[in-house]
Amino acid sequence: MMAQFSQFRLKGLVFLAIVVFALPLFISNPFHYGLATQIALIAGAVVGLNLLVGFAGQISLGHAGFFGIGAYFSAIMTSNYGWSAIPALVVGAIGVAIIAWTVGRPILRLKGHYLSMATLAVGFIIAIILNNERELTGGPDGMPMPAFDVFGWELSVFGQYSLFGMDISGDLAWYLFAGVILLAAVWLAQNLIDSPIGRALRSVHGSEVAASVVGVNTAKYKSLVFVISAVYASVMGALYGHFQGFITPSIASFDFSILLITMVVLGGMGSTIGVIIGAVVLELLPQVLADFQEMEMMLFGLILMLTMIFMPKGLLPTAANYLNKRRSKSAGGDA
C-alpha cells in the first residue's frame, strides 16, 4: 500500500512539472509571467504550511511572520551589507528555524484554538517589529531589494538570458526558476511525508494521545514539522522579495497569514497538489474580480464562504471524491 501511495505522489509531481513547463506555451505576456511567478513562490510556502496543517493537524495563523522575516533578512543583508543572495537566504532560513524551534516548543504544547492564538501572537509581534524598526526595514513604506544573484550571475525580471540556445526574457527566466523551486519544494515535502517522520506526523494528526501511548515522541515531531514549515516560508519569502524588488511589512501581516491558511484549506488540507490549486485560485481571484470594483470584496467573501460550505474538504479532494463516486457507480452499472 505504501508503494502505491508513493507512486501516486510521483504522478502528482510529474503532473505538476508538466503544467509548470507547459504554461509558457499558452502565455506570453510578461505580466502573466509575473503573476505566475508570484503564485509559484507563494504556493511553495503553502506546501510547507500544509505539512503542518494537513499532516500534523496543527493550525498556524502567523506563518506570514516567517515569510516576512525571510524576505526582510535577505533584503537587509543584500542591500545594506552587500551580501550575496544565497548566503543571505540560507542564514535567514537558519535564523527562522531557530526562532521557530524556540517559540515552537512551548506553543505546540497548546491545543486547538490556543495554538492558533499563540501563532497569531507570534506573527503579530514579528509584523510590529518590521513595521517599527524604520532604520532597518524602512518602516511601513517598505524597502527595495536587489535582484537575485548566484556567484555574480544576476536573475532580474528586467534582464535577458539564454537557455539551451533560446533567448528568454527575464520574466520567463524568473518564472522557470520559480517553477523549479516549487517542484523542488513539492518533491521535498513528498519525501518527508513518506519518511518515518511523515508516518509519525500522521499518527499525531490521527490521535495525539494514541500516538504518544505507542511511543511516538509527539512534541518532538510537532516541533520539527513546525520548524520545517517555517523554513519553507522563510526561503519563499526571500525569493518573493528578490522577485518583487520591493517589500513592505504587509507580507508579514495577519491578513497574509490568513490568506496562506485559506489557500491550504480551500485547496484541500493534506493534498500537496490541492493546496497549490488553492494558491492559484486565491491569487487569480482578485485579478478576475478587479473588474467588479466596489463589489470585489463582497464577491470574494461570498465565493470563499460558498466553496467551503459545499466543499468542506477542499477543491481537489472534493473533485477527486466526486469523480471516484461517479466512476464506481458506472462500474457498478456495467457489472
Contacting another protein within 63-102 (CB under 8 A): none
Residues 127-166 that bind another protein (CB under 8 A): 128-129, 131-132, 134, 139-142, 144, 158
Nearer to another protein, 74 or 244 (CB): 244
Nearer to another protein, 150 or 298 (CB): 298
- Largest Cα–Cα separation, the chain: 73
Contact status: 109 vs another protein (CB under 8 A): yes
Contact status: 21 vs another protein (CB under 8 A): no
Nearer to another protein, 61 or 235 (CB): 61
Residues 266-305 that bind another protein (CB under 8 A): 266, 269, 273, 277, 280, 284, 286-288, 290, 293-305
Grid cell 520539527 in the structure block, residue? 224
> From the CB of 34, what's the least distance to another protein, in Å?
5
Enumerate the β-bridge partners of residue 247.
143
Nearer to another protein, 137 or 234 (CB): 137
Contact status: 117 vs another protein (CB under 8 A): yes
Residues 157-216 that bind another protein (CB under 8 A): 158, 207, 209-210
Residues 305-324 that bind another protein (CB under 8 A): 305-310, 312-313, 316, 319-320, 323-324
Nearer to another protein, 2 or 164 (CB): 2
Nearer to another protein, 99 or 247 (CB): 247
> From the CB of 258, what's the least distance to another protein, in Å?
6
Nearer to another protein, 5 or 87 (CB): 5
Residues 227-266 that bind another protein (CB under 8 A): 244-248, 250-251, 254, 258, 261-262, 265-266
